[in-house]
Amino acid sequence: MLRRLLSRVLPRDADDSGELRELARRAAVDGQIRQAHELLERAVALDPRSPDAHSDLGNVYLMLGEDAKAERSYGAALALSAQHAPALANLGLLRARRGDRAAALECFRQAVRADPWSVQAIRSLVDWLPDDTVPDEDIALMREITARFPDHAAAWAALGRLHLRGAFDAVPAVDALERAVALGQQDADTISGLGAGLQEVGRLEDALAAFERARSIDPQHVSARFHRAIALLTLGRFAEGWPDYELRLRSEDRPQRAFPFPRWGGEDLDGKTILVHAEQGIGDEILFASCLPEIIARAKHCVIDCAPKLAAIFARSFPAATVHGGLQSEPVDWALPLGIDLQIPAGSVPLQLRPDVAAFPAHQGYLRADPEKARRWRERLAALGPGRAIGVSWRGGTLRTRADRRTLPLSDLAPILREPGFHFVSVQYGPDAATEVDRFAAESGIRIHHWPEAVDDYDETAALVAALDGITSVCTAIVHLGGALGGPVWVLTPRVPEWRYGAYGNRMPWYPSVHLIRQTERRVWAPVVDAARRELRATFARRASDA
């Protein structure tokens, strides 16, 4: 068929370049890239003023892996037509492939401005933005396009997915993605993004339905599978959620740790030495450490890898184990002489041990603070005078881990901090904590005790937490530390918290001593703070009456 079409080409005909381009397109679709290259070389020779011909030739060079020639062809197309959207979009892909993301993104933006209906450019712009970027410029661009073309499904889909970047603004994301789907945008990325937005606003069952729909389109869609796992874990459907929670290990942002030992898959550990190694943040290391007592009991020996700041606490808490404190980015050769038979990332242990809520043990704390340090902190707290000593933390997370819903100003905690009969002690980590405490004292007259030495060293933090009568905190690592030490913790929980806090109820299966006080309206903290104040007062009133 292709030969018959080629026989129709007239070498000197003015329309030859266009026909050659069409034949080249068909050849490329048939996988005949060299044939397409020959046809496009002829097309360019016949019409060197055609930006389309140069751009198409660049595409063939791109497919052949001849990047320098591809770039020259795109440059030739753009020299003839500076707003040639296909050349801009494909030049962007070339630069992205080279690792020059900033230049690639600018090419995609120029392509979208040149041709707002260029679906390839729109999609590439969204796909190549870093996950932690707040893409205000690109959101504005998509808003402009959707305002001009209200039936532009791809632009609505892009707008929705952009809202899920950076600050993760789920409400407008859901609105845009629902519009895109209604307009016929039925790809797995769009529907999975809709599921992520629905999950973020607390519509978990609707989110699960979206993820299932995305999986029906692309059964291996990583985002749909992973976010579905998170939704299932949030709902306490652990056996269903843990398998695809493993997809977190594929993240480009996570250190890929090449321990040369077989992965533990739940088999008998009798006579075996197993390595359980860190692979997430401090809070998660503490959370998943709740499984370590069972691993230690089952195995001949357990090697625990953890963050350096946790090493002393873990060594004290799990004396039968060997504890290695190191960064996840470090080489793994330290483990080679230890006789390790099996290894498993810490976050994968629950896949084997926590299939349902009934499998979570009732404990009174599995971490142990340094007793001498805790004694000194109790003395220091006692010197404050009569009253209960309560730790407070008001700021948690990063941009990528939803800091905006895990942080509130100290002034919002004033109803708690004014309660008589209590001394409030900062357990807030970070360089600005002392400044915030001083500023709050100057503005409100309320004193919060802040001792930098208690938060700069995590072993001291654990000792202080063990000495306190309880903690009131937003969702941050101090919740995990307090719960793992077995002390009472009252958590100010956002309307849609991370999966670790579950979707419902006032308890966490991980920590029996942790109490959750949940928002009923997004970003409205006053009722939550008041409920925490009342719980704090009632708890210690009961204890006083029982004494």
Residue 339 lies in a domain: yes
Residues 303 and 411 in one domain: no
Residue 421, SS3 per DSSP: coil
Residues 402 and 303 in one domain: no
Residue 513 lies in a domain: yes
Task: Choose among 369, 391, 248: nearest CA to 313.
Answer: 369
Residue 21 lies in a domain: no
Q: Report yes or no: 480 and 287 within 8 Å, Cβ to Cβ.
A: yes
Average pLDDT over residues 211-227: 96
Lookup: tokens for 390:
């309560």
**pTM (predicted TM-score):** 0.88
Q: What are phi and psi of 348, to 5 degrees?
A: -95, -10
Residue 155 lies in a domain: no
Domain stops at, among 339, 359, 379: 359
Residue 407, SS3 per DSSP: strand
Rounded to whole angstroms, the Cα distance separating 480 from 489 reads 9
Rounded to whole angstroms, the Cα distance separating 36 from 30 reads 10
Residue 102 lies in a domain: no
Longest distance between any two alpha carbons in the chain, whole Å? 104
Q: What are phi and psi of 493, to 5 degrees?
A: -105, 130
Q: What's the confidence (pLDDT) of residue 101?
A: 94
CA distances (Å), 306 to each of 322, 346, 456, in order? 11, 9, 18
**CATH number, domain containing residue 299:** 3.40.50
Average pLDDT over residues 227-231: 97
Q: What's the confidence (pLDDT) of residue 4?
A: 39
What is the domain range of residue 536? 371-546
Rounded to whole angstroms, the Cα distance separating 248 from 227 reads 10
Q: What are phi and psi of 197, to 5 degrees?
A: -65, -45
Residues 315 and 441 in one domain: no
Task: Choose among 315, 319, 310, 330: nearest CA to 457.
Answer: 310
Q: What's the confidence (pLDDT) of residue 533?
A: 95
364 — pLDDT class (breaks 50, 70, 90): very high
Q: What's the confidence (pLDDT) of residue 252?
A: 65
Q: pLDDT, tens digit, for every residue of 5-57?
A: 333 443 444 357 888 888 888 988 888 989 888 888 888 888 899 999 889 99
Residues 395 and 447 in one domain: yes
Q: What are phi and psi of 91, to 5 degrees?
A: -65, -40
Q: What's the confidence (pLDDT) of residue 523?
A: 83
Q: Report yes or no: 498 and 481 within 8 Å, Cβ to Cβ.
A: no
Residue 516, SS3 per DSSP: strand
Q: Report yes or no: 326 and 259 within 8 Å, Cβ to Cβ.
A: no
Task: Choose among 317, 269, 333: nearest CA to 295.
Answer: 269
Residues 328 and 386 in one domain: no
Residue 135 lies in a domain: no
Q: Report yes or no: 345 and 279 within 8 Å, Cβ to Cβ.
A: yes
Q: pLDDT, tens digit, for every residue of 237-265?
A: 999 999 999 999 987 666 678 899 999 99
Residues 401 and 348 in one domain: no
Residue 299 lies in a domain: yes
Lookup: tokens for 483:
């719960």
Question: Residues for the chain: how many in total?
Answer: 547
Residue 321 lies in a domain: yes
Residues 478 and 384 in one domain: yes
Q: What's the confidence (pLDDT) of residue 448?
A: 96
**CATH number, domain containing residue 507:** 3.40.50.2000
Helix axes 458-467, 477-485, angle to 10 degrees: 60
Average pLDDT over residues 341-353: 98
DSSP 247: G
Q: What's the confidence (pLDDT) of residue 536?
A: 93
Residues 385 and 504 in one domain: yes
Task: Choose among 71, 57, 63: nearest CA to 103.
Answer: 71
The pLDDT > 70 percentage for the chain reads: 94
Residues 377 and 505 in one domain: yes
* Residues sharing a CB contact under 8 Å with residue 380, sequence separation 6 or more, in sequence order: 451
Q: How many CB atoms lie within 10 A of CB 212?
A: 13
Q: What's the confidence (pLDDT) of residue 547?
A: 56
The pLDDT > 90 percentage for the chain reads: 79
Q: What's the confidence (pLDDT) of residue 253?
A: 66
397 — pLDDT class (breaks 50, 70, 90): low
Of 123-137, 144-158, 322-336, least confident by mean pLDDT is 123-137
Lookup: tokens for 103:
């230049």
Kindly report the average pLDDT of the chain as a whole number.
92
Domain stops at, among 359, 392, 424: 359
Lookup: tokens for 135:
């893409």
Residues 536 and 409 in one domain: yes
Q: What are phi and psi of 317, to 5 degrees?
A: -80, -30
Residues 375 and 498 in one domain: yes
302 — pLDDT class (breaks 50, 70, 90): very high
Q: pLDDT, tens digit, for every residue of 93-132?
A: 999 989 999 999 999 999 999 999 999 999 999 999 987 7
Task: Choose among 406, 446, 413: nearest CA to 430.
Answer: 406
Identity of residue 283: G
Residues 437 and 319 in one domain: no
Task: Choose among 491, 529, 487: nearest CA to 389.
Answer: 487
545 — pLDDT class (breaks 50, 70, 90): low
Domain stops at, among 324, 359, 394: 359
The total number of structural domains that make up the chain:
2
Q: Report yes or no: 134 and 163 within 8 Å, Cβ to Cβ.
A: no
Q: pLDDT, tens digit, for every residue of 440-449?
A: 999 999 999 9
Of 121-135, 327-341, 350-364, least confident by mean pLDDT is 121-135
Helix axes 188-200, 170-182, angle to 10 degrees: 140
